Amino acid sequence: MEKAFSKNLINIEPYVAGEQPRSADIIKLNANENPYPPSPEVHKAIAAFNADGLRLYPPMDAAPLRQAAADFYGLDRSCVFAGNGSDDVLAAAFRAFFNSDKPILYPDITYSFYPVWCELLKIPFRTIPVDEGFNVNVEDYYTDNGGVVLPNPNAPTTIGLGRDRIEELIKHNRESVVIIDEAYADFSGVSCVPLIKKYDNLVVTQTFSKSRALAGMRVAIALADPYLISYLDAVKDSYNSYPMDAVSICAGTAAMRDREYFEATCGKIVATRQRVTKRLRELGFILPDSSANFLFATHPDHTAREIFSYLRENGIYVRYFSKPRIDNHLRITVGTDEQMDKLLELLEKLINK
């Protein structure tokens, strides 16, 4: 549609919203959401929230949330930044830390928003191929660069690296900022947060959307040396003074403070994951040991696309990517035991047909 003002519009494909199934009959294993609700403390905090206070702007620095995260990890509050979900925090980090003419590095198979922010912020980048088993080899990152971003565990491959491996990567990149995106780390038992005291070029990002079951709330944090945190604050403040709303701060704080519930639900998801992994392998699926709350599986006798359509027809939504290297894999979120039993039942029928 050509308009007089069309020449001034951004060159972008107008967005067509995808389906977001909300039917209670559908088992939704396609967005890596938590099958368990957030902590009961979140419920209490929201129900008790004093809406009258909403007439005022929220605290600019989301102080209660930062303090809760600092307490959780035994850090000073000055080591914590907070934002509206990982996308917000990572975008701020890219802007703050990736200002080199040299390319930043990240895996060829990884979170799909990294190239988007590079394009938006005009950051040069180079992707490093994962190996045939989808493993990240940190030695591949011992090369001149403008920064490194690496999810650990990686997505959608589910494969995590030990903290010693990440430490090697950081040691070999002391002239860049290294961002470790720990969106799924709470399901792996491995976090690089303890390394931030040792390496002032490390930034660890964590989302509350997965392990803390707050996808609907948009909460995430970054943990780093206070020097780097001050840059994130400066960036955030430079284009939006009040990015986190008061209820998000309140809900995020409650979620962070309920360690017991957090550990219990993560534990349940990990147990379900181990059981389902074993059973899928018995059914002939090939999949790496997952360090996340989802599985990355392929089958020698059935294409991923075929299994995707079959499950969908039967009311289970999983994720399929028609992308190079991974277009014969499915990403399957770990749901409740009951949900996964339905999945396994359907897959057994298909495989044994």
Interface region with its own copies, contact rule CB under 8 A, candidates 243-251, 281-289, 291-299, 314-322: 243-251
Q: Of the candidates 164, 200, 263, 306, which one interacts with its own copies according to CB under 8 A?
A: 200
In the complex, the smallest distance separating the C-beta of residue 234 from its own copies, rounded to whole angstroms, is: 4
Contacts to its own copies from residues 29-48, by CB under 8 A: 31, 33-38, 42-43, 46-47
DSSP states of 129-178: ---TT----GGGG-S--SEEEEESS-TTT-----HHHHHHHHHTTTTS-E
CB-based contact 148:176 (threshold 8 Å) = yes
Cis geometry, peptide bond prior to residue 194 (ω within 30 degrees of 0) = no
Does residue 280 touch its own copies according to CB under 8 A?
Answer: no
Q: How far apart are CA 299 and CA 351, in angstroms?
A: 9
Dihedral angle sign, alpha carbons of residues 96, 323, 158, 17: positive
Q: How many residues does the chain have?
A: 353
Region binding its own copies by CB under 8 A among candidate stretches 26-34, 277-285, 313-321, 338-346: 26-34
- Residues 105-124 interacting with its own copies (rule: CB under 8 A): 113, 116-117, 120
**Residue 237 binding its own copies, by CB under 8 A:** yes
**Of 208-216, 271-279, 297-305, 309-317: span binding its own copies (CB under 8 A):** 208-216
149 is a contact residue toward its own copies (CB under 8 A): no
**Sign of torsion, CA 162 205 19 23?**
positive
Among the listed ranges 185-193, 245-253, 295-303, 309-317, the one in contact with its own copies (CB under 8 A) is 245-253
| 74, burial (CB in 10 Å: exposed 0-12, middle 13-18, buried 19+) | exposed
# chain residues binding its own copies, by CB under 8 A: 90
CB nearer its own copies, residue 251 or residue 304:
251
Minimum CB distance to its own copies smaller for 18 or for 324: 18
Q: Which stretch binds its own copies (CB under 8 A): 64-72, 159-167, 224-232, 295-303?
A: 224-232
Is 201 near its own copies (CB under 8 A)? yes
Residues 6+ apart with CB under 8 A from 207: 85, 86, 89, 183, 219, 220
57: its two tokens: 């702007």
285 versus 294: smaller Cβ distance to its own copies: 294
337 is a site residue for its own copies (CB under 8 A): no
Q: Cα separation of 29 and 145, whole Å? A: 37
Site string for its own copies, 164-183 (x = CB under 8 A): ----------xxxx------
Integer angstrom CA distances of residue 25 from 19, 50, 269, 314: 15, 35, 21, 10
Hey, which residues does 330 pair with through a beta bridge? 297, 320
**First vs last Cα of the chain: how many Å apart?**
50
CB nearer to its own copies: pick between 113 and 310: 113
Site string for its own copies, 48-67 (x = CB under 8 A): -x-xxxxxxxxxxx------
Closest CA to 199 of 216, 179, 174: 174
Instruction: Rule CB under 8 A: say whether 233 interacts with its own copies.
Output: yes
Select from 9-17, 293-301, 321-329, 336-344 the region that touches its own copies (CB under 8 A): 9-17
